[in-house]
Structure 1
Amino acid sequence: MDRGVEWDFEPTLDRIAALLDLLGSPQRAYPVIHIAGTNGKTSTARLVEALLRERNLRVGRFTSPHLISMRERITVDGQPLTEERFAEVYEEIAPYVELNDTQGRRIQFFELLTAMAFAAFADTPVDVAVVEAGMGGSWDATNVADGTVAVITPISLDHTDRLGPDIPSIAGEKAGIIKPGATAVLAQQTLEAAEVLMRRAAEVGAVVAREGLEFGVLAREVAMGGQLLTLRGLKGVYEEVYLPLYGAHQAGNAVCALAAVEALTGGDEPLDVELVRQAFAQVSSPGRMEVVRRDPTVVVDAAHNPGGMEATLEALHEAFGFAKVVGVVAVMADKDVDTLLDLLEPVLDEIVVTRNSSPRSMTAQELAARAVPLFGEERVRVVERLDEAIDTGIALADAEGEFSGTGVLITGSVVTAGDARHLLKADGV
């Protein structure tokens, strides 16, 4: 059934709200932790899920976009729906979708997936749903749910054609997930974003918890395979928490997840520190600063906007300290490509420009035309196919010698990260 493409949508909740009414409002069958923001949403969702599951709760998680399989977006108990269950959920709601269509409310692609997730979670049933907004917040299909806790991860410029040209506009859209009586967990924000979020919280009477004020990362040190954290939550301090994810941004995601779960549980008692340690020690976030090969070390990261790329490059320097870095880069044509290249230029010794599997991908030749003025022709390799580009990047690193300290960074898009993981046969979702 053709529902159009995911990135083509109209800003209204009418269609999805009408469909969910026909389905019996499954999004109201369980408490929801709703997550919006520009960067870090999926990682934060996985961290929240890990904490909740460690408390022996059955958790549904809805995230987007996927890296390899559409089924990754809808998980129960940490596992994507099986192919059979995914098809079954679609078939169960299809008659209601068709009925909605006949009433002049033709459901779009992302709305259909959102409805499937809410229906699957209600049918399981789950104890808690962790729901990531697809784009924005106010008009995102997921916003038919009223989150008991609303988490806003760091806001920066992205999707400016849809969400607005500046930070206040984008923050205003994302603030729409903060509902009356909810707890708003706010990651560290720029002043202009924070002002918008605080205004929204005041308007709807939400309780506010801000990173750096009501909670935060007290200490952080690099550890083998990740970092060791001391976190101050809303109800207590949690020491010696190992997180197998790289970068200060992931520490921020972790403490936001911690605060969100504390807020959901109510009361004044902190979470059991061993529970927090166990949960975070086993968390993963595929495609986010993920090592997919050694000798040479190949890191895959889904950074696709300036804020995300800045965090990635800081984490790359801190965690790996490569003497040289070869980049394999494929980006979407509608992104801020020039700023991404500006950020990469001081870090990459050589760049292999290519394209990913999306029809929205910038061609290798177009990307090269943007890169050459910054990097110079001698540092730019143009390879049309991503698989060959990865081989080229690894060969360039190998040519430096086994003890050169040269690494490979594959980045530029979630699709690029997903394609690379598939090609390099990385495990897990």
Structure 2
Amino acid sequence: MSDFPLAGAARLAETIDEVEDALLSRWPETKLEPSLDRIEAFTDLLGRPQDAYPVIHLTGTNGKTSTARMIEALLLALDLRTGRFTSPHLERINERIAVDGEPLDDEAFVRAFNDIAPYTHLVDAEQEHPLSFFETVVGMAYAAFADAPVEVGIVEVGMGGSWDATNVMDAAVAVITPIAVDHAKYLGSTPAAIAVEKSGIIKAGSIAVIAEQTPEVAEVLLARAGEVGARVVREGLDFGVVSRVAAVGGQVVTLQGLRGRYDEVFLPLHGAHQAHNAATALAAVEAFLGGEEPLGDEVVRAGLGAATSPGRLEIVRRSPTVVLDAAHNPHGAEATAAALEDSFRFSPLIGVVGVMVDKDAEPLLAAFEPHLAHVVVTQNSTERAMPAEELAAIAVEVFGEDRVTVVPRLADALDAAMALAEAGEALGDPMGSGAVLVTGSVVTAGQARTLLVRRDREVTA
């Protein structure tokens, strides 16, 4: 029996702040008990809303959110009603649950919480452990999508696959973005071990859309598909990126889909990794719809042309330019670093880096070292943030003492970095075309976004 405070579990909320407070009083996303028992019991009480619509389910190590948002954009271009669940959020909790491409507004989010709140304490009372923050939000999303109602759900796992709380439905399409090492404590220390857990979203009768993987990861995923009788389509064999050219505001891509080739499509996102995400999203939509006819150039151009992915090489300020990127593991940092080289010509580029204490900071910093003239080490405001001084000790080993500044408060770190970027001449660039990259964590990028957008509003007010 749980010692969770049951009296507060069913309390109805009047404001978004009250919803967030109620959710945060539950087990945090970082506290895991690998089991689907609680979420199964919860969704059973809710009437299994996740069975009311077909689902495209996504897992992988990096690229899940961007790919989910591109799938959504393509489906909206086809005039289908969509529900999208992604995590974590960048700035506001509402971002996790979107209908027709728009996050639930505060009133709708409160309503979604109140619809499921009376059932949370019933699960808490019957289970060994209470419903977690993440399980509760998953239940909210599934119920909100059924109430809308949506024609297709686009659901990103929180972590892993098999025992992730989202995995209480049989998705029509399972999307596996590139798998590398992250969350090793929970998922395993090798890509192949992690792939075993993530392959759990591939279900009998589904179509598995597999992005480019290492041979050992591909072997695991193909074995799972064979076991359950799922059809497989693979990047590089059945679909892929034919060509890409960097362009102002993004890139121009030619993609080979499952049913046709789509030439010279503008994608307003930067980096080769986003082109590959777009190819995966396109294949997922084609697999979901079935049939033999191509989607049509107009649909693909409209869908991908409208795609956004906040916090992923997102320019949020000019003079100096400030770019936000949520890279939080070595694999993601390498993709971001390659995109910086490919799409931008900043000199000097100053880094603002804040990571979580459970992340492998050294290889993440090493991926950025060739691209950053200087790094300002900081920390975000969460309890999981690695202390700036601790991160600085690692950064000095990578960058050298002369290229590292420690500024623990994020707002001050942004100011310090922007001053360094503006003083490009002092760092050897007489043109002064400096810029700032804020990275290391979704939370760091999100908090920086909030700070910078608020400043701009205050300046223009």
Asked if 1:366 is matched to 2:393, the reply is: no
Percent pairwise identity: 59
Aligned with 1:207 (options 227, 231, 239): 231
Aligned-partner SS, 1:360 = coil
Residue aligning to 2:177 = 153
- Matches for 1:23-38 after TM superposition, within 5 Å: 23-38=46-61
CA contact (8 A) 2:353 2:438 kept: yes
1:366 Cα deviation (Å)?
0.8
Q: What SS class does the counterpart of residue 312 from structure 2 fall into?
A: coil
- How many angstroms apart in 2 are the aligned matches of 1:104 and 1:341? 42
The structural deviation recorded for 1:348 is 1.1
Distance apart, 1:400 and its partner CA: 1.1
Secondary structure of the 2:111 match is helix
My pick for the range that moved more, 194-203 or 292-301, is 292-301
Asked whether the equivalents of residues 362 and 398 of structure 2 are also in contact (C-alpha less than 8 Å), the reply is no
Match of 2:119 in 1: 96
Q: 2:249 aligns with which of 218, 225, 229?
A: 225
SS of the residue aligned with 2:80? Answer: coil
- For 2:413 and 2:156, the matched residues in 1 are separated by 32
Amino acid at match of 1:371: A
Runs of 4 or more, structure 1, over 4 Å off, are: none
CA RMSD after TM alignment: 1.2
Alpha-carbon distance in 1 for matches of 2:144, 2:398: 48
**Which amino acid letter does the alignment assign opposite residue 149 of structure 2?**
P
Residue identity matched to 2:50: Q
What is the distance in 2 between the residues matched to 1:297 and 1:104? 51
Structure 1 residue 405 displacement after superposition: 2.9
- 199-208 vs 339-348, which moves further: 339-348
- Measured against aligned partners, the alpha-carbon deviations of 1:278-303 in whole angstroms (never above 9, x if no partner) come to 11111110000001112222110000
Matches within 5 A, 1:399-418: 399-401=423-425, 403-418=431-446
* Partner amino acid, structure 2, of 1:211: E
Name whichever of 310-319 and 91-100 sits farther off.
91-100
Tell me if structure 1 keeps the 8 A contact 2:82–2:153: yes
Structure 1 residue 385 corresponds to structure 2 residue 385: no
**Alignment partner, residue 39 of structure 1:** 62
- Which residue of 1 is the match for residue 94 of structure 2? 71
State the 1:104 CA deviation.
Answer: 2.2
Q: Residue 353 of structure 1: CA displacement?
A: 0.2
User: 1:343-370: CA deviations, max 9, x gaps?
Assistant: 2222211010000122100111111111
SS of the aligned residue for 1:214 comes to coil
- 1:277-426 alignment to 2 at 5 Å? 277-401=301-425, 403-425=431-453
- Unaligned runs of 5+ residues in structure 2 are 1-21, 457-461
**How far apart, CA to CA, are the structure 2 residues paired with 1:74 and 1:173?**
24
Give the secondary structure class of the aligned counterpart of 2:335: helix
Take 1:357 and 1:37, find their aligned partners in 2: how far apart are those partners?
A: 27
What is the letter of the counterpart of residue 440 of structure 2? G
Deviations 1:48-83 (A, max 9, x none): 000001111110000000011111000001111111
Residue segments in structure 1 that go unaligned for 5+ positions in a row: none
| Structure 1 residues 83-122: aligned runs within 5 Å | 83-104=106-127, 106-122=130-146
My pick for the range that moved more, 112-121 or 89-98, is 89-98
* Aligned position for 2:5: none
| AA matched with 1:417 | A
Q: Return the alpha-carbon distance in structure 2 between the equivalents of residues 68 and 206 of structure 1.
A: 37
Kindly provide the CA deviation profile for residues 307-339 of structure 1, in whole angstroms up to 9, marking residues without a partner as x: 000000000111002232110000001001111
Q: What is the TM-score when the length of structure 1 is the normalising length?
A: 0.98
SS of the aligned residue for 2:167 comes to helix
Pair 1:141 & 2:165 matched: yes
Find the partner of 1:60 among 69, 79, 83: 83
How many corresponding residue pairs?
427
